[in-house]
A and B are shown apart, each in its own frame.
Chain A
Amino acid sequence: MAAPLELSCWGGGWGLPSVHSESLVVMAYAKFSGAPLKVNVIDNTWRGSRGDVPILTTEDNVVSQPAKILNFLRKQKYNADYELSAKQGADTLAYIALLEEKLLPAVLHTFWVESDNYFTVTKPWFASQIPFPLSLILPGRMSRGALNRILLTRGQPPLYHLREVEAQIYRDAKECLNLLSNRLGTSQFFFGNTPSTLDAYVFGFLAPLYKVRFPKIQLQEHLKQLSNLCRFCDDILSSYFRISLGGISPAGQDMVDANLQKLTQLVNKESNLIEKMDDNLRQSPQLPPRKLPTLKLTPAEEENNSFQRLSP
Protein backbone atom coordinates (compact mmCIF):
# COMPACT_ATOMS: atom_id res chain seq x y z
CA MET A 1 0.00 0.00 0.00
CA ALA A 2 1.48 3.28 -1.01
CA ALA A 3 1.27 6.11 1.40
CA PRO A 4 0.12 9.32 -0.24
CA LEU A 5 3.11 10.89 -1.95
CA GLU A 6 3.29 14.63 -2.10
CA LEU A 7 5.76 16.49 -4.17
CA SER A 8 6.38 20.14 -3.66
CA CYS A 9 8.05 21.85 -6.56
CA TRP A 10 8.12 24.94 -8.70
CA GLY A 11 5.18 25.54 -10.98
CA GLY A 12 4.89 25.63 -14.71
CA GLY A 13 4.76 28.06 -17.56
CA TRP A 14 5.35 28.26 -21.30
CA GLY A 15 3.55 24.97 -21.76
CA LEU A 16 5.64 23.08 -19.22
CA PRO A 17 4.39 21.49 -16.01
CA SER A 18 7.39 22.97 -14.24
CA VAL A 19 10.04 25.46 -15.20
CA HIS A 20 12.61 24.09 -12.77
CA SER A 21 14.79 21.31 -14.20
CA GLU A 22 15.05 19.17 -11.09
CA SER A 23 11.32 19.35 -10.37
CA LEU A 24 10.63 18.40 -13.97
CA VAL A 25 12.90 15.35 -13.75
CA VAL A 26 10.97 14.04 -10.77
CA MET A 27 7.58 14.76 -12.33
CA ALA A 28 8.56 13.03 -15.57
CA TYR A 29 9.87 9.99 -13.73
CA ALA A 30 6.69 9.75 -11.70
CA LYS A 31 4.61 9.77 -14.91
CA PHE A 32 6.81 7.15 -16.55
CA SER A 33 6.74 4.81 -13.58
CA GLY A 34 3.10 5.37 -12.74
CA ALA A 35 3.71 6.73 -9.27
CA PRO A 36 0.67 8.59 -7.97
CA LEU A 37 2.06 11.96 -6.98
CA LYS A 38 0.15 14.80 -5.55
CA VAL A 39 1.89 17.86 -6.84
CA ASN A 40 1.96 20.91 -4.61
CA VAL A 41 3.15 23.89 -6.54
CA ILE A 42 4.98 26.55 -4.58
CA ASP A 43 2.69 29.50 -4.36
CA ASN A 44 2.09 32.79 -2.69
CA THR A 45 1.16 31.40 0.68
CA TRP A 46 3.67 30.84 3.40
CA ARG A 47 3.14 27.09 3.55
CA GLY A 48 5.94 24.71 2.82
CA SER A 49 9.63 25.10 2.28
CA ARG A 50 11.22 26.46 -0.82
CA GLY A 51 14.86 25.93 -0.23
CA ASP A 52 15.67 22.47 -1.44
CA VAL A 53 12.84 21.94 -3.83
CA PRO A 54 11.85 19.39 -5.21
CA ILE A 55 10.89 17.64 -2.01
CA LEU A 56 8.90 14.45 -1.68
CA THR A 57 6.87 14.01 1.49
CA THR A 58 5.24 10.82 2.62
CA GLU A 59 3.76 9.97 6.00
CA ASP A 60 7.08 9.40 7.67
CA ASN A 61 9.73 10.51 5.19
CA VAL A 62 10.99 13.68 3.67
CA VAL A 63 13.26 13.17 0.68
CA SER A 64 15.02 15.89 -1.24
CA GLN A 65 17.22 15.94 -4.37
CA PRO A 66 16.10 14.23 -7.55
CA ALA A 67 18.51 11.27 -7.31
CA LYS A 68 17.35 10.40 -3.82
CA ILE A 69 13.69 10.88 -4.71
CA LEU A 70 14.01 8.57 -7.69
CA ASN A 71 15.74 5.97 -5.52
CA PHE A 72 12.93 6.24 -3.00
CA LEU A 73 10.29 5.78 -5.68
CA ARG A 74 12.12 2.73 -7.00
CA LYS A 75 12.13 1.20 -3.54
CA GLN A 76 8.38 1.78 -3.42
CA LYS A 77 8.12 -0.39 -6.54
CA TYR A 78 7.65 2.50 -8.96
CA ASN A 79 10.44 1.52 -11.26
CA ALA A 80 10.68 2.79 -14.81
CA ASP A 81 13.88 0.85 -15.44
CA TYR A 82 12.92 -2.76 -14.86
CA GLU A 83 13.13 -3.55 -18.54
CA LEU A 84 16.66 -2.28 -18.88
CA SER A 85 19.64 -4.61 -19.06
CA ALA A 86 22.59 -4.19 -16.69
CA LYS A 87 24.60 -2.47 -19.39
CA GLN A 88 21.76 -0.05 -20.11
CA GLY A 89 21.56 0.74 -16.43
CA ALA A 90 25.28 1.51 -16.45
CA ASP A 91 24.83 3.67 -19.55
CA THR A 92 22.08 5.58 -17.73
CA LEU A 93 24.47 6.52 -14.93
CA ALA A 94 27.10 7.57 -17.41
CA TYR A 95 24.78 9.76 -19.46
CA ILE A 96 23.34 11.40 -16.36
CA ALA A 97 26.90 12.26 -15.30
CA LEU A 98 27.46 13.72 -18.78
CA LEU A 99 24.35 15.88 -18.44
CA GLU A 100 25.36 17.17 -15.03
CA GLU A 101 28.92 17.94 -16.00
CA LYS A 102 28.53 19.33 -19.50
CA LEU A 103 24.99 20.59 -19.92
CA LEU A 104 23.95 21.77 -16.48
CA PRO A 105 26.51 24.61 -16.14
CA ALA A 106 25.30 26.17 -19.39
CA VAL A 107 21.62 25.72 -18.48
CA LEU A 108 22.28 27.36 -15.11
CA HIS A 109 24.12 30.14 -16.85
CA THR A 110 21.30 30.74 -19.35
CA PHE A 111 18.68 30.91 -16.60
CA TRP A 112 20.46 32.48 -13.67
CA VAL A 113 23.67 34.20 -14.62
CA GLU A 114 23.20 35.76 -18.06
CA SER A 115 21.96 39.19 -16.96
CA ASP A 116 19.46 39.82 -19.76
CA ASN A 117 17.80 36.49 -19.21
CA TYR A 118 17.91 36.64 -15.45
CA PHE A 119 16.50 40.12 -15.02
CA THR A 120 13.83 39.96 -17.71
CA VAL A 121 12.59 36.40 -17.39
CA THR A 122 13.90 34.23 -14.58
CA LYS A 123 13.83 36.64 -11.65
CA PRO A 124 10.34 38.05 -12.33
CA TRP A 125 8.91 34.58 -12.83
CA PHE A 126 10.34 33.09 -9.66
CA ALA A 127 9.60 36.21 -7.66
CA SER A 128 5.97 36.05 -8.79
CA GLN A 129 5.63 32.55 -7.37
CA ILE A 130 6.55 33.36 -3.79
CA PRO A 131 5.27 35.87 -1.26
CA PHE A 132 6.90 39.18 -0.47
CA PRO A 133 9.50 39.71 1.04
CA LEU A 134 10.88 36.29 0.16
CA SER A 135 10.53 37.31 -3.47
CA LEU A 136 13.28 39.83 -2.92
CA ILE A 137 15.69 37.36 -1.40
CA LEU A 138 15.24 33.90 -2.83
CA PRO A 139 15.84 34.53 -6.55
CA GLY A 140 19.06 36.35 -5.71
CA ARG A 141 20.16 33.46 -3.56
CA MET A 142 19.43 30.94 -6.29
CA SER A 143 21.34 33.07 -8.77
CA ARG A 144 24.38 33.26 -6.52
CA GLY A 145 24.20 29.51 -5.93
CA ALA A 146 24.19 28.89 -9.66
CA LEU A 147 27.15 31.20 -10.26
CA ASN A 148 29.04 29.56 -7.45
CA ARG A 149 28.45 26.15 -8.85
CA ILE A 150 29.63 27.15 -12.30
CA LEU A 151 32.78 28.85 -11.06
CA LEU A 152 33.78 26.22 -8.56
CA THR A 153 33.36 23.32 -10.91
CA ARG A 154 34.68 24.93 -14.06
CA GLY A 155 36.85 27.81 -13.06
CA GLN A 156 40.55 27.43 -12.62
CA PRO A 157 41.94 28.51 -9.25
CA PRO A 158 43.09 30.98 -8.08
CA LEU A 159 41.27 33.29 -10.48
CA TYR A 160 37.65 32.22 -10.66
CA HIS A 161 36.61 34.44 -13.50
CA LEU A 162 33.33 34.05 -15.25
CA ARG A 163 34.35 35.31 -18.66
CA GLU A 164 37.02 32.67 -19.10
CA VAL A 165 34.58 29.99 -18.25
CA GLU A 166 31.56 31.17 -20.27
CA ALA A 167 32.86 30.27 -23.70
CA GLN A 168 34.00 26.87 -22.51
CA ILE A 169 30.73 25.89 -20.84
CA TYR A 170 28.65 26.82 -23.88
CA ARG A 171 31.00 24.86 -26.13
CA ASP A 172 30.69 21.87 -23.83
CA ALA A 173 26.91 22.19 -23.72
CA LYS A 174 26.60 22.29 -27.49
CA GLU A 175 28.82 19.23 -27.76
CA CYS A 176 26.71 17.47 -25.16
CA LEU A 177 23.51 18.27 -27.07
CA ASN A 178 25.09 16.88 -30.25
CA LEU A 179 26.10 13.72 -28.42
CA LEU A 180 22.59 13.26 -27.05
CA SER A 181 21.11 13.78 -30.48
CA ASN A 182 23.46 11.20 -31.97
CA ARG A 183 22.62 8.74 -29.25
CA LEU A 184 18.86 9.23 -29.58
CA GLY A 185 18.87 8.88 -33.36
CA THR A 186 15.41 8.15 -34.62
CA SER A 187 14.14 6.14 -31.65
CA GLN A 188 11.31 7.39 -29.57
CA PHE A 189 13.15 7.07 -26.26
CA PHE A 190 16.73 6.42 -25.32
CA PHE A 191 16.24 2.74 -24.58
CA GLY A 192 13.63 1.35 -26.89
CA ASN A 193 9.94 2.17 -26.77
CA THR A 194 9.38 2.81 -23.10
CA PRO A 195 10.74 5.79 -21.22
CA SER A 196 13.20 5.31 -18.37
CA THR A 197 15.20 7.30 -15.85
CA LEU A 198 17.52 8.68 -18.51
CA ASP A 199 14.57 9.99 -20.51
CA ALA A 200 13.30 11.73 -17.39
CA TYR A 201 16.65 13.43 -16.82
CA VAL A 202 17.14 14.47 -20.43
CA PHE A 203 13.59 15.80 -20.58
CA GLY A 204 14.02 17.66 -17.31
CA PHE A 205 17.15 19.43 -18.52
CA LEU A 206 16.10 20.07 -22.11
CA ALA A 207 12.45 21.05 -21.87
CA PRO A 208 12.93 24.35 -19.99
CA LEU A 209 15.76 25.26 -22.35
CA TYR A 210 13.52 24.47 -25.30
CA LYS A 211 10.32 26.18 -24.23
CA VAL A 212 11.11 29.20 -22.08
CA ARG A 213 11.34 32.44 -24.07
CA PHE A 214 14.65 34.17 -23.39
CA PRO A 215 16.22 37.28 -24.88
CA LYS A 216 19.69 35.69 -25.13
CA ILE A 217 19.13 32.33 -26.73
CA GLN A 218 22.28 30.92 -28.30
CA LEU A 219 21.94 27.54 -26.62
CA GLN A 220 18.23 27.40 -27.39
CA GLU A 221 18.97 28.08 -31.07
CA HIS A 222 21.42 25.22 -31.11
CA LEU A 223 18.90 22.91 -29.48
CA LYS A 224 16.21 23.83 -31.97
CA GLN A 225 18.46 22.69 -34.78
CA LEU A 226 18.55 19.20 -33.30
CA SER A 227 15.09 18.21 -34.42
CA ASN A 228 15.05 14.77 -32.85
CA LEU A 229 15.63 16.23 -29.38
CA CYS A 230 12.83 18.75 -29.92
CA ARG A 231 10.56 15.97 -31.11
CA PHE A 232 11.52 13.97 -28.01
CA CYS A 233 10.46 16.81 -25.69
CA ASP A 234 7.24 17.49 -27.56
CA ASP A 235 6.31 13.80 -27.55
CA ILE A 236 6.72 13.50 -23.81
CA LEU A 237 4.82 16.73 -23.19
CA SER A 238 1.89 15.65 -25.30
CA SER A 239 1.75 12.03 -24.15
CA TYR A 240 2.43 12.37 -20.45
CA PHE A 241 1.70 15.93 -19.52
CA ARG A 242 -1.57 16.78 -21.09
CA ILE A 243 -2.58 19.58 -18.70
CA SER A 244 -5.69 18.10 -17.12
CA LEU A 245 -7.66 19.84 -14.40
CA GLY A 246 -8.09 16.70 -12.34
CA GLY A 247 -10.89 14.22 -13.03
CA ILE A 248 -9.66 11.69 -15.55
CA SER A 249 -6.36 10.19 -14.50
CA PRO A 250 -3.55 11.05 -16.91
CA ALA A 251 -3.28 7.43 -18.04
CA GLY A 252 -7.00 7.24 -18.76
CA GLN A 253 -6.91 10.60 -20.48
CA ASP A 254 -4.05 9.39 -22.66
CA MET A 255 -5.99 6.32 -23.69
CA VAL A 256 -9.03 8.36 -24.54
CA ASP A 257 -6.89 10.74 -26.55
CA ALA A 258 -5.12 7.90 -28.31
CA ASN A 259 -8.44 6.36 -29.27
CA LEU A 260 -9.79 9.68 -30.44
CA GLN A 261 -6.65 10.19 -32.51
CA LYS A 262 -7.03 6.79 -34.13
CA LEU A 263 -10.69 7.41 -34.87
CA THR A 264 -9.96 10.79 -36.40
CA GLN A 265 -7.25 9.28 -38.58
CA LEU A 266 -9.57 6.52 -39.72
CA VAL A 267 -12.33 8.97 -40.52
CA ASN A 268 -9.94 11.21 -42.41
CA LYS A 269 -8.73 8.27 -44.45
CA GLU A 270 -12.30 7.30 -45.27
CA SER A 271 -13.21 10.80 -46.30
CA ASN A 272 -10.10 11.06 -48.48
CA LEU A 273 -11.05 7.83 -50.21
CA ILE A 274 -14.57 9.03 -50.78
CA GLU A 275 -13.25 12.31 -52.19
CA LYS A 276 -11.14 10.42 -54.67
CA MET A 277 -14.07 8.31 -55.70
CA ASP A 278 -16.14 11.40 -56.23
CA ASP A 279 -13.40 12.93 -58.34
CA ASN A 280 -13.26 9.85 -60.51
CA LEU A 281 -16.96 9.78 -60.97
CA ARG A 282 -17.07 13.42 -61.88
CA GLN A 283 -14.38 13.13 -64.47
CA SER A 284 -15.85 10.08 -66.09
CA PRO A 285 -17.81 11.22 -69.17
CA GLN A 286 -20.21 8.29 -69.38
CA LEU A 287 -22.16 8.92 -66.24
CA PRO A 288 -24.93 11.45 -66.40
CA PRO A 289 -24.31 14.51 -64.34
CA ARG A 290 -25.84 14.18 -60.94
CA LYS A 291 -25.87 16.21 -57.82
CA LEU A 292 -22.87 15.27 -55.72
CA PRO A 293 -22.12 16.43 -52.20
CA THR A 294 -19.98 19.53 -52.25
CA LEU A 295 -16.28 18.95 -51.73
CA LYS A 296 -15.37 22.27 -50.19
CA LEU A 297 -16.13 21.35 -46.62
CA THR A 298 -14.40 22.40 -43.42
CA PRO A 299 -12.75 19.40 -41.75
CA ALA A 300 -15.35 19.26 -38.96
CA GLU A 301 -18.21 19.21 -41.37
CA GLU A 302 -16.38 16.67 -43.47
CA GLU A 303 -16.11 14.40 -40.46
CA ASN A 304 -19.76 14.83 -39.68
CA ASN A 305 -20.69 13.97 -43.23
CA SER A 306 -18.43 10.96 -43.15
CA PHE A 307 -20.05 9.83 -39.92
CA GLN A 308 -23.42 10.06 -41.56
CA ARG A 309 -22.24 8.17 -44.58
CA LEU A 310 -20.61 5.48 -42.48
CA SER A 311 -23.55 4.87 -40.24
CA PRO A 312 -25.52 1.88 -41.36
Chain B
Amino acid sequence: MSLVAEAFVSQIAGKVPFIHVGNQVVSELGPIVQFVKAKGHSLSDGLDEVQKAEMKAYMELVNNMLLTAELYLQWCDEATVGEITHARYGSPYPWPLNHILAYQKQWEIKRKMKAIGWGKKTLDQVLEDVDQCCQALSQRLGTQPYFFNKQPTELDALVFGHLYTILTTQLTNDELSEKVKNYSNLLAFCRRIEQHYFEDRGKGRLS
Protein backbone atom coordinates (compact mmCIF):
# COMPACT_ATOMS: atom_id res chain seq x y z
CA MET B 1 0.00 0.00 0.00
CA SER B 2 2.29 2.69 -1.21
CA LEU B 3 -0.09 5.43 -2.30
CA VAL B 4 -0.20 7.04 1.11
CA ALA B 5 3.53 6.70 1.58
CA GLU B 6 4.05 8.17 -1.88
CA ALA B 7 2.32 11.31 -0.75
CA PHE B 8 5.25 12.05 1.45
CA VAL B 9 7.73 12.09 -1.37
CA SER B 10 6.14 15.36 -2.37
CA GLN B 11 6.40 16.65 1.16
CA ILE B 12 10.08 15.88 1.20
CA ALA B 13 10.47 17.96 -1.95
CA GLY B 14 9.02 20.89 0.01
CA LYS B 15 5.50 21.03 -1.39
CA VAL B 16 2.21 20.30 0.35
CA PRO B 17 1.49 16.62 -0.29
CA PHE B 18 -0.96 16.01 -3.10
CA ILE B 19 -1.93 13.19 -5.40
CA HIS B 20 -3.05 13.42 -8.96
CA VAL B 21 -5.65 10.84 -9.90
CA GLY B 22 -7.14 11.19 -13.37
CA ASN B 23 -8.80 14.59 -13.35
CA GLN B 24 -8.71 15.05 -9.62
CA VAL B 25 -6.08 16.53 -7.40
CA VAL B 26 -6.37 15.75 -3.71
CA SER B 27 -4.05 17.46 -1.28
CA GLU B 28 -3.09 17.12 2.39
CA LEU B 29 -2.90 13.90 4.33
CA GLY B 30 -6.42 13.77 5.79
CA PRO B 31 -8.32 14.12 2.52
CA ILE B 32 -5.89 11.82 0.72
CA VAL B 33 -6.48 9.10 3.26
CA GLN B 34 -10.26 9.54 2.92
CA PHE B 35 -10.01 9.49 -0.86
CA VAL B 36 -7.97 6.33 -0.90
CA LYS B 37 -10.33 4.76 1.63
CA ALA B 38 -13.28 5.54 -0.63
CA LYS B 39 -11.48 3.69 -3.41
CA GLY B 40 -11.41 0.60 -1.24
CA HIS B 41 -7.92 0.68 0.26
CA SER B 42 -7.47 1.39 3.92
CA LEU B 43 -4.49 0.73 6.09
CA SER B 44 -6.33 0.72 9.37
CA ASP B 45 -9.09 -1.78 8.66
CA GLY B 46 -7.48 -4.40 10.82
CA LEU B 47 -7.57 -2.26 13.95
CA ASP B 48 -10.26 -2.43 16.59
CA GLU B 49 -11.98 0.64 18.01
CA VAL B 50 -9.56 1.24 20.85
CA GLN B 51 -6.57 0.93 18.53
CA LYS B 52 -8.14 3.32 16.05
CA ALA B 53 -8.61 5.83 18.87
CA GLU B 54 -4.97 5.40 19.84
CA MET B 55 -3.84 5.84 16.28
CA LYS B 56 -5.80 9.06 15.87
CA ALA B 57 -4.44 10.32 19.19
CA TYR B 58 -0.82 9.67 18.16
CA MET B 59 -1.41 11.32 14.80
CA GLU B 60 -2.61 14.41 16.62
CA LEU B 61 0.44 14.29 18.85
CA VAL B 62 2.68 14.28 15.81
CA ASN B 63 0.74 17.15 14.26
CA ASN B 64 0.66 19.07 17.47
CA MET B 65 4.30 18.73 18.43
CA LEU B 66 6.44 17.75 15.47
CA LEU B 67 4.71 19.81 12.82
CA THR B 68 4.52 22.88 15.02
CA ALA B 69 8.15 22.48 16.03
CA GLU B 70 9.16 22.22 12.37
CA LEU B 71 7.20 25.36 11.57
CA TYR B 72 8.71 27.13 14.56
CA LEU B 73 12.21 26.24 13.53
CA GLN B 74 11.62 27.29 9.96
CA TRP B 75 9.88 30.56 10.63
CA CYS B 76 10.49 31.80 14.16
CA ASP B 77 14.16 31.00 14.64
CA GLU B 78 15.91 34.05 13.26
CA ALA B 79 19.07 32.28 12.17
CA THR B 80 17.22 29.70 10.12
CA VAL B 81 14.81 32.22 8.69
CA GLY B 82 17.52 34.53 7.48
CA GLU B 83 19.76 31.90 5.99
CA ILE B 84 17.44 29.34 4.56
CA THR B 85 13.70 29.82 4.78
CA HIS B 86 13.30 33.24 3.24
CA ALA B 87 15.39 32.35 0.26
CA ARG B 88 13.79 28.99 -0.26
CA TYR B 89 10.21 30.20 0.13
CA GLY B 90 10.62 33.15 -2.16
CA SER B 91 12.69 31.40 -4.80
CA PRO B 92 9.89 30.68 -7.30
CA TYR B 93 8.89 34.33 -7.46
CA PRO B 94 10.50 37.43 -8.94
CA TRP B 95 11.63 40.38 -6.88
CA PRO B 96 9.92 42.02 -4.92
CA LEU B 97 7.29 39.30 -4.63
CA ASN B 98 9.73 36.88 -3.09
CA HIS B 99 10.40 39.15 -0.14
CA ILE B 100 6.77 40.18 0.34
CA LEU B 101 5.42 36.65 0.30
CA ALA B 102 8.12 35.38 2.63
CA TYR B 103 7.47 38.14 5.17
CA GLN B 104 3.73 37.59 4.93
CA LYS B 105 4.09 33.88 5.53
CA GLN B 106 6.36 34.54 8.48
CA TRP B 107 3.87 36.95 10.00
CA GLU B 108 1.09 34.40 9.50
CA ILE B 109 3.04 31.64 11.19
CA LYS B 110 4.01 33.88 14.10
CA ARG B 111 0.37 34.78 14.64
CA LYS B 112 -0.55 31.13 14.74
CA MET B 113 2.21 30.35 17.20
CA LYS B 114 1.01 33.11 19.46
CA ALA B 115 -2.58 31.86 19.30
CA ILE B 116 -1.66 28.38 20.46
CA GLY B 117 0.70 29.58 23.17
CA TRP B 118 4.00 28.88 21.45
CA GLY B 119 4.75 32.56 20.93
CA LYS B 120 6.82 32.89 24.07
CA LYS B 121 8.68 29.61 23.75
CA THR B 122 12.42 29.62 23.35
CA LEU B 123 14.22 27.30 20.98
CA ASP B 124 15.34 25.14 23.89
CA GLN B 125 11.79 24.66 25.09
CA VAL B 126 10.69 23.70 21.59
CA LEU B 127 13.51 21.18 21.33
CA GLU B 128 12.51 19.75 24.69
CA ASP B 129 8.95 19.31 23.43
CA VAL B 130 10.26 17.53 20.35
CA ASP B 131 12.29 15.30 22.61
CA GLN B 132 9.22 14.45 24.67
CA CYS B 133 7.26 13.67 21.55
CA CYS B 134 10.02 11.44 20.17
CA GLN B 135 10.26 9.68 23.50
CA ALA B 136 6.53 8.98 23.45
CA LEU B 137 6.74 7.67 19.88
CA SER B 138 9.77 5.59 20.72
CA GLN B 139 8.04 4.06 23.74
CA ARG B 140 4.94 3.33 21.72
CA LEU B 141 6.95 1.72 18.94
CA GLY B 142 9.09 -0.36 21.27
CA THR B 143 10.63 -3.26 19.39
CA GLN B 144 7.79 -3.74 16.92
CA PRO B 145 8.38 -3.21 13.20
CA TYR B 146 5.43 -0.81 12.90
CA PHE B 147 3.31 1.07 15.39
CA PHE B 148 0.50 -1.42 15.22
CA ASN B 149 2.69 -4.45 14.94
CA LYS B 150 2.84 -6.21 11.63
CA GLN B 151 1.10 -3.84 9.25
CA PRO B 152 1.89 -0.23 8.52
CA THR B 153 -0.91 2.25 9.07
CA GLU B 154 -1.54 5.95 8.48
CA LEU B 155 0.35 6.68 11.66
CA ASP B 156 3.48 4.97 10.32
CA ALA B 157 3.26 7.01 7.13
CA LEU B 158 2.85 10.27 9.05
CA VAL B 159 5.67 9.58 11.46
CA PHE B 160 7.96 8.46 8.66
CA GLY B 161 7.21 11.60 6.68
CA HIS B 162 8.06 13.93 9.51
CA LEU B 163 11.08 12.09 10.85
CA TYR B 164 12.57 11.59 7.41
CA THR B 165 12.19 15.29 6.66
CA ILE B 166 13.79 16.22 9.95
CA LEU B 167 16.67 13.81 9.47
CA THR B 168 17.50 14.72 5.92
CA THR B 169 16.90 18.47 5.70
CA GLN B 170 19.96 20.58 6.23
CA LEU B 171 19.35 23.44 8.62
CA THR B 172 21.63 25.93 10.33
CA ASN B 173 21.69 23.91 13.47
CA ASP B 174 21.41 20.18 13.69
CA GLU B 175 19.84 20.01 17.11
CA LEU B 176 16.47 18.90 15.83
CA SER B 177 17.84 15.93 13.95
CA GLU B 178 20.14 15.13 16.85
CA LYS B 179 17.12 14.84 19.12
CA VAL B 180 15.56 12.32 16.80
CA LYS B 181 18.80 10.39 16.38
CA ASN B 182 18.86 9.77 20.12
CA TYR B 183 16.13 7.20 19.66
CA SER B 184 17.61 4.24 17.87
CA ASN B 185 14.34 2.42 17.27
CA LEU B 186 12.93 5.47 15.48
CA LEU B 187 16.00 5.61 13.27
CA ALA B 188 15.71 1.92 12.49
CA PHE B 189 12.01 2.44 11.72
CA CYS B 190 12.78 5.17 9.18
CA ARG B 191 15.55 3.16 7.56
CA ARG B 192 13.32 0.12 7.32
CA ILE B 193 10.51 2.00 5.59
CA GLU B 194 12.89 3.76 3.26
CA GLN B 195 14.45 0.51 2.19
CA HIS B 196 11.20 -1.36 1.93
CA TYR B 197 9.12 1.17 0.06
CA PHE B 198 11.49 3.54 -1.60
CA GLU B 199 14.42 1.40 -2.57
CA ASP B 200 13.57 1.62 -6.24
CA ARG B 201 14.27 5.33 -6.10
CA GLY B 202 17.97 4.92 -5.95
CA LYS B 203 20.34 5.15 -3.03
CA GLY B 204 18.77 5.86 0.34
CA ARG B 205 19.62 9.23 1.85
CA LEU B 206 19.67 8.03 5.43
CA SER B 207 23.25 7.22 6.33
User: In whole angstroms, what is the CA distance A185 to B61 when docked?
Assistant: 22
Most buried by B among A65, A87, A93, A152: A93
Q: Which residues of B contact A183 (CB under 8 A)?
A: 50, 53-54
Tell me the residues in window 116-147 of chain B with beta carbons closer than 8 Å to chain A beta carbons. Answer: 116-117, 132-133, 135-137, 139-140, 142
A93 contacts B61, CB within 8 Å? Answer: yes
The smallest C-beta distance from B111 to any residue of chain A, in angstroms, reads: 6
Q: How many contacts A-B (CB < 8 Å)?
A: 69
Chain-B contact segment, one of A26-34, A98-106, A114-122: A98-106
**Interface membership of B64, Cβ < 8 A:** yes
The residue that B140 contacts in the complex, of A65, A91, A152, with Cβ under 8 A, is A91
A: number of interface residues (CB 8 Å): 25
The residue that A179 contacts in the complex, of B53, B61, B116, with Cβ under 8 A, is B53
Q: Which residues of A contact B140 (CB under 8 A)?
A: 87, 90-91, 94
User: In whole angstroms, what is the CA distance A152 to B107 when docked?
Assistant: 12
The smallest C-beta distance from B152 to any residue of chain A, in angstroms, reads: 18
Q: Which residue of B lies closest to A151 (CB)?
A: B115
User: In whole angstroms, what is the CA distance A254 to B23 when docked?
Assistant: 65
Interface bits B39-82 vs A (CB < 8 Å: 1, else 0): 00000000001101110111011011100000000000000000
A157 contacts B139, CB within 8 Å? Answer: no
* Range of interface residues on B (Cβ < 8 Å): 20 to 34
B117 contacts A152, CB within 8 Å? Answer: no
User: In whole angstroms, what is the CA distance A138 to B54 when docked?
Assistant: 38
Q: Which residues of A contact B57 (CB under 8 A)?
A: 91, 94-95, 97-98, 179
The residue that B56 contacts in the complex, of A65, A152, A179, with Cβ under 8 A, is A179
Q: Which residues of A contact B53 (CB under 8 A)?
A: 179-180, 182-183
**Interface membership of A12, Cβ < 8 A:** no
Tell me the residues in window 82-137 of chain B with beta carbons closer than 8 Å to chain A beta carbons. Answer: 108, 111-112, 115-117, 132-133, 135-137
The residue that B58 contacts in the complex, of A94, A152, A153, A180, with Cβ under 8 A, is A94
User: In whole angstroms, what is the CA distance A182 to B111 when docked?
Assistant: 35
**Interface membership of A86, Cβ < 8 A:** yes
Majority SS at the chain A contact face: helix
Interface bits A146-167 vs B (CB < 8 Å: 1, else 0): 0011001100010000000000
Q: Which residues of A contact B116 (CB under 8 A)?
A: 149, 152-153
Known: A101-B63, A152-B112. A86 touches B139 (CB 8 A): yes
12 contacts between A and B (CB under 8 A): A65-B117, A87-B142, A91-B54, A93-B61, A93-B132, A94-B57, A95-B57, A97-B57, A100-B60, A145-B115, A152-B116, A153-B112
Q: Which residues of B come within 8 Å of A, CB atoms?
A: 49-50, 52-54, 56-58, 60-61, 63-65, 108, 111-112, 115-117, 132-133, 135-137, 139-140, 142
Q: Which residues of A come within 8 Å of B, CB atoms?
A: 65, 86-87, 89-91, 93-95, 97-98, 100-102, 145, 148-149, 152-153, 157, 179-180, 182-183, 185
